[in-house]
Amino acid sequence: MAKIRTFDISEEIKKIIDGQANIVLEKKEKALDKASEYMVQQLENATPIDTGKTKKSWITKDQYTGVRYIKNTRLNKKNIPVVNLLEFGSKGKPFVRKTFNANKNKVIEIIKGEIENGNR
């Protein structure tokens, strides 16, 4: 007698859901990349220029899934982050928080747009 194979719908549903989850994860990562690249550009544009070294020292790191860090790597001779002196020093020229606040809606728009419309 021939063996009858039953169709396990739960396995097929799991494959579909897992596939969609991977697509959403890829879109989210791409969206975060685009949004962080945009923010780095805005910070570069807003950075006060003396030698230009601080302006060119903005980087983005994607150390963890779903997280992007933006930081400035420039240190002064005493190993103090120059951006901290600019932002919080008594002779500073604050710009980081202002730049973030001025661009947060655009960052959200970039992320939403990429997740909703990306990879079409």
Tens-place pLDDT, residues 2-39: 665 656 788 888 888 988 888 889 999 999 999 999 99
Q: Is 19 contained in some domain?
A: no
Q: What is the dihedral of CA 112, 113, 114, 116, to 10 degrees?
A: 80
15-19, 29-33, 64-68, 79-83: lowest mean pLDDT where?
A: 15-19
Rounded average pLDDT over 42-50: 94
Q: Is 29 contained in some domain?
A: no
Q: Is 17 contained in some domain?
A: no
The confidence score (pLDDT) of residue 11 equals: 82
Q: Is 57 contained in some domain?
A: yes
Q: Is 28 contained in some domain?
A: no
The confidence score (pLDDT) of residue 59 equals: 96
Q: Is 2 contained in some domain?
A: no
Q: Is 82 contained in some domain?
A: yes
Beta-bridge mates of residue 59? 71
Torsions phi, psi for 114 (to 5 deg): -70, -40
**DSSP class of 55:** G
Supply the range of the domain harboring residue 60.
38-117
How many structural domains comprise the chain?
1
Q: Tell me what the pLDDT averaged over the chain comes to.
A: 90
Q: Is 26 contained in some domain?
A: no
